[in-house]
Amino acid sequence: MTDIQNHEEAIVSETLYDRLGGEPAVNVAVDIFYRKVLNDDRINGFFDDVDMETQAAKQKAFLTMAFGGPHSYTGADMRKGHAHLVKMGLDDSHFDAVVEHLGATLVELNAPQELIAEVVVICETTRNDILGR
Amino acid sequence: MYKLTIEENAYSCQADETVLDALLREDVAIAYSCKKGTCHSCIVSSPDTTPPEAAQAGLKNTLKKLNYFLACQCHPEQDMTIKLPDQAAFYSEGTVVVTEMLNRNTLLLSLAFKDTFKFNAGQFVNLQRADGLTRSYSIANTPQESNILEFNIRRLPNGQFSEWLHNEIKVGDTIAVSEANGSCFYLPEKNDQNILLAGTGTGLAPLAGILTDALTQGHSGSIYLFHGSREVEDLYRIDEMQQLDEEHANFHYIPCLSGADSPEGFSHGRVNEVALASLPDLKGWRVFLCGNPDMVKQMKKMTFLKGVASADIYADAFLVSPA
């Protein structure tokens, strides 16, 4: 990647992330979001075997990415990280449920609707990698 | 330009460099990944320097207190000594001063040190036998007792190390002891916060240390201690905890027994079930969990779902080494 691309990407991602409130906002959102996920019987089975702390760190990395913040995930990481869940039956309905909880979390935190829409767009770019298609 | 010291080596950190940049330029083997402060892979500590605030953003309070920081987010403000996570631990020699049985399978072991041993109540150390066999044990006392460390050692069936401590160790023997580790301890900030302590077996050791520390520092919020085992013979320090309960209006001791018999004064059920049933709303609480790994894992999740912030959950799961 050239420096110019890097630079441009930095500006674009900084905008949404900063407008959402950056790292402090992620810290507030992550507990609300993860509590919703663990309370949802449609999807909490996928989280049964993982340690809370490890999982909370992953959720934080995920939210940072979804908020347009700094991350180092590639499509290949997403595929690899979710392959075992796809084998357990992870499909579009589960992906939709997670995005729904993320949207609801942002609503709860009074984020403006247009920023929530941008977050949903970022999530959508990961759908096929996460579902291994 | 500031000097970074790791063991015997000194490196320079240029004005525009982070600690991670400088160490990578100098070919120091250090784990890292995102370089953005998100993944925490490059966490290191500085035993003698308070790191810049920005380098500690997002870390647990107890880790901040121990001067842990993220190398990728750290622009030094002074010379720093740095300790890498995989750096060999420094061992000191402890002399056995007390061995006595607390119940039918738990040994109280007290070690004395020449110099003051630095630790926070609730942390653990590695004990090492002369042949190199090493096990982690939680410290059971508080630092106020200066140069003594106490441990509650449960005898495990076929446990090489616990059998050795139970059967062979005697007053006057020496044992190598690592520096104190772990982030499961009490901090005096928010002293009106309610605290839940839940433990099984010798999980009482770190919890009793944390409890004593909190009471000594004048914690004003309620403190609930749930201590569980199967049979009453496997609980210990019952009288001591009951006395603390009587002396402190804000401290409540609830011993739990999961076996068939539960005499008067003991709650019947597993410690996690009893605790969760007694405390329906845990929003705003601070939680400490020590002992059986399944109990710890389940309680982490359940207390979080009952409203505890993830940053307020401190846990130490006791893993049993394969014999």
All residues of chain A having their beta carbon less than 8 Å from the beta carbon of residue B35 are 72
Range of the domain at B259: 195-317
Give the Cα separation of B156 and A96 in Å (integer): 48
Q: Which pLDDT score is estimated for B323? A: 54
Residue A9 has pLDDT above 60, yes or no: no
Q: Do the Cβ atoms of B70 and B23 come closer than 8 Å? A: no
- Number of Cβ within 10 Å of residue A9's Cβ equals 11
Distance (Å) from the C-alpha of residue B37 to the closest C-alpha of chain A? 9
Is B205 in the same domain as B286? yes
Distance (Å) from the C-alpha of residue B124 to the closest C-alpha of chain A? 19
Question: How is residue B154 annotated by DSSP?
Answer: E
Is B199 in the same domain as B308? yes
Residue B98 backbone phi and psi in degrees, to 5 = -140, 135
- Number of Cβ within 10 Å of residue B7's Cβ equals 11
Q: Which pLDDT score is estimated for A60? A: 86
Q: Which pLDDT score is estimated for B80? A: 95
Residue A60: closest CA among B54, B64, B58: B58
Is B301 in the same domain as B266? yes
Structural domain total, chain A: 1
Give the Cα separation of B268 and A4 in Å (integer): 66
Structural domain total, chain B: 3
Q: Do A52 and B313 touch (CB under 8 A)?
A: yes
Distance (Å) from the C-alpha of residue A27 to the closest C-alpha of chain B? 8
Instruction: Name the residue with tokens 């050795």.
Output: B164
Q: Which pLDDT score is estimated for A1? A: 40
* DSSP string over B97-128: EEEEEEETTEEEEEEE-SSPPP--TT-EEEEE
Is B164 in the same domain as B242? no
Q: Do B58 and A72 touch (CB under 8 A)?
A: no
> Which positions of chain B have pLDDT values less than 70?
145, 322-323
CATH number (domain holding residue A10): 1.10.490.10
All residues of chain B having their beta carbon less than 8 Å from the beta carbon of residue A72 are 33-36, 39
The pair of structure tokens assigned to B283 is 């929003």
State the count of interchain CB pairs (< 8 A) between A and B.
50
Is B219 in the same domain as B265? yes
Q: Do B38 and A69 touch (CB under 8 A)?
A: yes
Distance (Å) from the C-alpha of residue A103 to the closest C-alpha of chain B? 19
Q: Do A39 and B305 touch (CB under 8 A)?
A: yes
Q: Which pLDDT score is estimated for B322? A: 67
CATH number (domain holding residue B11): 3.10.20.30
**Three-state DSSP class for B217?**
coil
Give the Cα separation of B258 and B268 in Å (integer): 6
Tell whether B284 is within 8 A of chain A (Cβ): no
Q: Do A70 and B36 touch (CB under 8 A)?
A: yes
Q: Do the Cβ atoms of B205 and B197 come closer than 8 Å? A: no
E strand intervals along chain B: 2-6, 9-13, 43-45, 68-70, 80-81, 91-103, 106-112, 124-128, 134-138, 148-154, 174-178, 195-200, 223-229, 251-257, 267-268, 286-291, 313-317
By Cβ distance, the residue of B33, B34, B305 closest to A38 is B305
Counting beta carbons within 10 angstroms of the beta carbon of residue A88, is it exposed (0 to 12), middle (13 to 18) or buried (19 or more)? exposed
By Cβ distance, the residue of B33, B34, B300 closest to A52 is B300
Is B263 in the same domain as B169? no
The percent helix, strand, coil of chain B (3-state, each to 5) is 25, 30, 45
Task: Report yes or no on B230 lying in a domain.
Answer: yes
Q: Which pLDDT score is estimated for B145? A: 67
As beta bridge partners, residue B135 has B127
Tell whether B301 is within 8 A of chain A (Cβ): yes
Is B71 in the same domain as B113? no
Range of the domain at A111: 3-130
Q: Do A30 and B310 touch (CB under 8 A)?
A: yes
Task: Report yes or no on B188 lying in a domain.
Answer: no
pLDDT per residue as tens digits for the range A78-98: 899 899 999 999 999 999 999
Give me the sheet containing B2-6, strands edge to edge: B9-13, B2-6, B80-81
Counting beta carbons within 10 angstroms of the beta carbon of residue B118, is it exposed (0 to 12), middle (13 to 18) or buried (19 or more)? exposed
Residues 6+ away with beta carbon under 8 Å from B182: B122, B123, B124, B138, B316
Q: Do the Cβ atoms of B195 and B222 come closer than 8 Å? A: yes
By Cβ distance, the residue of A35, A61, A69 closest to B304 is A35
Q: Which pLDDT score is estimated for A14? A: 53
Q: Which pLDDT score is estimated for A13? A: 45
Counting beta carbons within 10 angstroms of the beta carbon of residue A5, is it exposed (0 to 12), middle (13 to 18) or buried (19 or more)? exposed
Q: Do A31 and B310 touch (CB under 8 A)?
A: yes
Residue A11 has pLDDT above 70, yes or no: no
Complex ipTM: 0.79
